[in-house]
Structure 1
Amino acid sequence: MPQPTYRRIAVIGGGANDEHHVSLASAAAVTRAIRELNLTAVPLTITENGTWRDESGTDVPAHRAIEILTGCDIAFPVLHGVRGEDGTIAGLLDLSGIPFAGSPVRAGALGIHKHVTKLIAESLGIATAKSQLVQPGSEATTTSLQPPFVVKPATGGSSNGVFVVADPDDIAKAVAQARKYGHSVLVEEYVVGRELDIAAFRDRNGTLRLGAVLEIDVTSGGVFGAAEKYDGRAQFTVPARISDADESAIRTAAALLYEALECAGVARFDFFLTDSGPILNEVNTSPGMTEHSQVPLMYATIGLSYTGLIAELLDAVSCSVSGNTVEPTTRRA
């Protein structure tokens, strides 16, 4: 493998949203991996108030943060949620001329809005749960939906503000609660099925590399909520024990969505596996990236270590900047 042409990597974590602390954990893990690669990691944090902070914990003005970023060879943003994953950080880096590991503005903006991703998925022939978008100032009318329902912010993440509602009379209250995490709210029919995830990234050779399919073992008997994600109760089976046909359908759907959204870097695609086949749940263009998160586990299962995954993502950026990529193909990592 040729020696990398980059040495200094800015790692951006935090974010001015309710996923701030989750992002900090992802950024810390990426920083460790970069240092294990004998590269220089330059951590930067966006506080919950939207200000910038350097590695020493000192607040810095925005123009100084840009100076730090432009002094690096590549940026590795690990921001989850709005004001980050939604294309905001991609736009800043792009306009500043800083190469970065991750999806561009359009993919982030489309991927974070669950209703929009449903529309794109359905146009590709990928099934989604029947749903209704409740815009700010509007009320939910669930006459065309069958209970029970899942109510969630259309642009939320980490399962914050997600509620399962059995009685249609309780929808309005659930929508009001979900709006604390995002103004637009999605009301969906509850899907009974196994929860399966798969990740994809395009490497330095232009190859789309898919990880192993992972199954989330939901022990609470309900949705894979915020508590289960972060309190240690989450259990994963990887590779998931599913049929070849179901695995193929999930892999095909993920590849189609990655291309249609024009993702870059690593993205995660979440599905429910029902008796009639896979149903898309959502897309994450900046998924959790601790050593124990779903995405690294998917790749570790097929022989790509956490540090190796970070190296691959950095190499892809470096080669893209130098124009050394080849025609895109798809394969397992």
Structure 2
Amino acid sequence: MMRKTLVLLFGGQSTEHEVSCRSVLTIKRAVNQEKYKVLCIGITKSGEWIPVEKEESIEDGSWKESAERAMILPDAKLSSVLFLGKNGESHLEKIDVVFPVLHGKDGEDGTIQGLLEIARIPYVGCGVLSSAISMDKVYTKMAVEKPLAKIGVRQAKYISFVRSQWENQEKIISKVEAALSYPVFVKPSNAGSSCGVSKAKDREALKKAVENALSVDRRVLVEESITGRELECAVFSGKEGQVESSSVGEILAAAEFYDYDAKYNNPDSKTELHPDISGEIEEKIRKAAETVFLAVDGFSLSRVDFFLSGEEVIFNEINTMPGFTSISMYPMLFKKKGYSIEELVEKLLESAFHRP
């Protein structure tokens, strides 16, 4: 059997660069080497595309020092990677499938997906539209509100505005205070892994939180603070219209909320694969996860996050390229369902060839 050539893209220009470098190692080690020839291409924070051969160079970060380059061409007839050597030599290599292990902006937001669509190269993950919508918190809310309402699930109350509107701070603050009660969460609309997210307990804190969010994105979301448990559900779709959801897991954050630092740098944050919830609540969360996934036209994989306040299920957000680190919920939830990491990666790669 002739092996297919698989490109694993990792790193990227987002704030989640380091997480991607950890995720790609998990995936690379799980790929069936008899079926796939694996090429790794790392993208630096400044946007350089570099071919990477050794796993050790990903672990220690030394891959970024290479003078070589490797980039996917948009030419649909070639469907190739162009390799440029440090002395100017070049060659093309045909590729069969791409797994863009990229989290956050310029990777999880439809940009890389658009390049792969133009090049007519099969790829793992959600498409251009669903990636773009799901990356943007405001547009996600708009897309999922009515489908969720039909099954009795709501989302947090919110207001949103853009940088130019913030020039009239008093008007925006008055609007927030009329619609919501302190404390509130302030989030960049377009960012991943809770980057730029702050909790504001009064007017002064709100101003600082907005400035923090605006340093990440031009559009800001101010959301009601919900006191509740943080629950997550993984979904997979290998064929259009067919969605498989996992069981539900719980995040036990060591910090006041599960931000980037609490998630990846605080050893006291934990994940619980057997949360103490009723079968009825679990089924409602699974149904809501599938509903959200379909509402944004999802495909291949996503992780959908919720709050549980008392007995009320409240949608939080969807991640179209969830982490694959040792503490990441997506692979752990499907492992609980019976899929080893090798089987899960194989299913994801196969999904690339069945994209609608």
Fold conserved between structures, TM > 0.5: yes
Q: Cα distance, 1:64 vs. partner?
A: 6.5
- Unaligned ranges ≥5, structure 2: 54-62, 83-92, 167-171
Alpha-carbon distance in 2 for matches of 1:190, 1:302: 32
Alpha-carbon distance in 2 for matches of 1:201, 1:63: 26
Tell me whether 8-17 or 31-40 shows the greater mean CA deviation. 31-40
Structure 2 CA distance for partners of 1:116 and 1:181, relative to 1, 3 Å:
same
Corresponding residue for residue 136 of structure 1: 163
Among candidates 72, 78, 94, match of residue 71 of structure 1? 94
2:41, 2:70 within 8 Å by CA — same for their partners in 1? no
Corresponding residue for residue 8 of structure 1: 5
Corresponding residue for residue 123 of structure 1: 146
1:291, 1:306 within 8 Å by CA — same for their partners in 2? no
1:203, 1:315 within 8 Å by CA — same for their partners in 2? yes
Alpha-carbon distance in 2 for matches of 1:174, 1:300: 38
- Whether 1:88 aligns to 2:88 is no
Alpha-carbon distance in 1 for matches of 2:327, 2:39: 22
Helix, strand or coil at the partner of 1:68: strand
Q: Cα distance, 1:276 vs. partner?
A: 4.7
- Whether 1:23 aligns to 2:23 is no
1:37, 1:307 within 8 Å by CA — same for their partners in 2? no
1:271, 1:279 within 8 Å by CA — same for their partners in 2? yes
Corresponding residue for residue 159 of structure 1: 194
- Aligned pair count reads 317
Alpha-carbon distance in 2 for matches of 1:215, 1:278: 13
CA RMSD in angstroms, aligned pairs only? 2.2
1:269, 1:284 within 8 Å by CA — same for their partners in 2? yes
Q: Which amino acid aligns with 2:165?
A: S
CA deviations on 1:106-140 (whole Å, 9 max, x unpaired) are: 00000011111112221111311111112122233
Among candidates 206, 223, 228, match of residue 193 of structure 1? 228
CA deviations on 1:190-213 (whole Å, 9 max, x unpaired) are: 100100000101136964211120
CA deviations on 1:184-239 (whole Å, 9 max, x unpaired) are: 1111111001000001011369642111201001233x111112211233211113
Q: Cα distance, 1:300 vs. partner?
A: 0.8
Alpha-carbon distance in 1 for matches of 2:161, 2:204: 16
Alpha-carbon distance in 2 for matches of 1:285, 1:83: 13
CA deviations on 1:40-88 (whole Å, 9 max, x unpaired) are: 2111111111121111544426466973286221100011111110000
Helix, strand or coil at the partner of 1:97: coil
Alpha-carbon distance in 2 for matches of 1:210, 1:176: 37
TM-score (norm 1): 0.89
CA deviations on 1:290-312 (whole Å, 9 max, x unpaired) are: 24311001011111111111011
TM-score (norm 2): 0.83
Aligned sequence identity (%): 32
Structure 2 CA distance for partners of 1:205 and 1:182, relative to 1, 3 Å:
closer
- Higher RCO, 1 or 2 (CA under 8 Å, sep at least 6)? 1
Corresponding residue for residue 182 of structure 1: 217
1:14, 1:47 within 8 Å by CA — same for their partners in 2? yes
Q: Return the structure number with greater strand share.
A: 2
2:71, 2:81 within 8 Å by CA — same for their partners in 1? no
Structure 2 CA distance for partners of 1:197 and 1:95, relative to 1, 3 Å:
same
Corresponding residue for residue 263 of structure 2: 229
Corresponding residue for residue 60 of structure 1: 69
Structure 2 CA distance for partners of 1:194 and 1:315, relative to 1, 3 Å:
same
Alpha-carbon distance in 2 for matches of 1:37, 1:226: 36
Q: Which amino acid aligns with 1:100?
A: Y
Q: Which amino acid aligns with 2:291?
A: L
**Which has the greater radius of gyration?**
2
